[in-house]
Amino acid sequence: MNIEQTDFYTQAILSMAALIGLMSFLMLGQGRLLRLIFVFALQGFLLTLTTALAAYSLQNPHLYISAVLTLVLKVIFIPWMLRREVIQMNTHRDIEALHNKTLVMLAGASLMVFSYYVLHPIVQTTSPVMLNALAVSLSVVLLGMLLMISHRQAVAHVVGFMSIENGLFFAAIVATKGMPMVVELGVAFDVLVAAVLFGIFFFHIRTSIDSLDVDLLSKLHEVDK
């Protein structure tokens, strides 16, 4: 595939995919919570841009609605909530010591290769652009999981959780030009409720273990120790 020969929309989508993937890697190696939240908001903003771009190029007005939803939820509301939490807990100056940072980054890179490998069969029926976009979204999903595994703070888990949603949204916009409206609204509703519940949970976890370090949540065992 020669990228100069494709139209502007395709080129833009490919760059967006690359940037969104990059954001996931930036989050993965980030030890400071406030910066993590900032990068997450940036990823949400890129997603908003992609959605608006798709709405404009494909003449699909309902995508504007999802662009606004993404902007409000992922760029403003959730980062604001998480930021407030971090500052309240007074953890914004802490640098979380990540175990095996190099290994985590290497694992992230392997996950990206793995995503391409998994989705490769679809290249027979579709353009390579689509393969790139889908593979990047899958790797954003997997990197979100890796983020949750490698970080210990509950806030980082929420960021990972929400960045998984970002990956899914990107796939939905690029591959299928947006899901049907009812589904998209439903998903946005679920994300909103999840965000509110996370806020409530922070409060409960804080009052129960006086910290947001989820490694301390370890009372339930398979067998008695």
User: Residue numbers of the site for other proteins (CB under 8 A)?
Assistant: 118-119, 121-122, 124-126, 134, 137-138, 141, 144-145, 148, 154, 157, 161, 164-165, 167-168, 171-172, 175-177, 179-180, 182-183, 186-187, 189-190, 193-194, 197-198, 200-201, 204-205, 208-209, 214, 217-220, 222-224
Minimum gap (Å) between residue 155 Cβ and other proteins = 13
Cβ nearer to other proteins, comparing 26 with 205: 205
Cβ nearer to other proteins, comparing 95 with 117: 117
Minimum gap (Å) between residue 151 Cβ and other proteins = 12
- Least Cα distance to 101 among 145, 38, 150 occurs for 150
Cβ nearer to other proteins, comparing 95 with 128: 128
- The half-sphere exposure of 221 on its side-chain side, counting CA atoms within 13 A, is 5
What's the 3-state SS for 62-114?
Answer: HHHHHHHHHHHHHHHHHHHHHHHHHHHCCCCCCECCCCCHHHHHHHHHHHHHH
Cβ nearer to other proteins, comparing 95 with 180: 180
Cβ nearer to other proteins, comparing 22 with 168: 168
**Which helix (DSSP H) or strand (DSSP E) does residue 130 occupy?**
helix 128-150
What is the gyration radius of the CA atoms in the chain, in angstroms? 18
Cβ nearer to other proteins, comparing 67 with 179: 179
Evaluate whether 40 touches 84 at the Cβ level (below 8 Å).
no
Cα separation, 78 vs 74, in Å, equals: 6
180: tokens are 């049907």
Minimum gap (Å) between residue 175 Cβ and other proteins = 5
Minimum gap (Å) between residue 4 Cβ and other proteins = 26
Residue where the block lists tokens 């439903």: 186
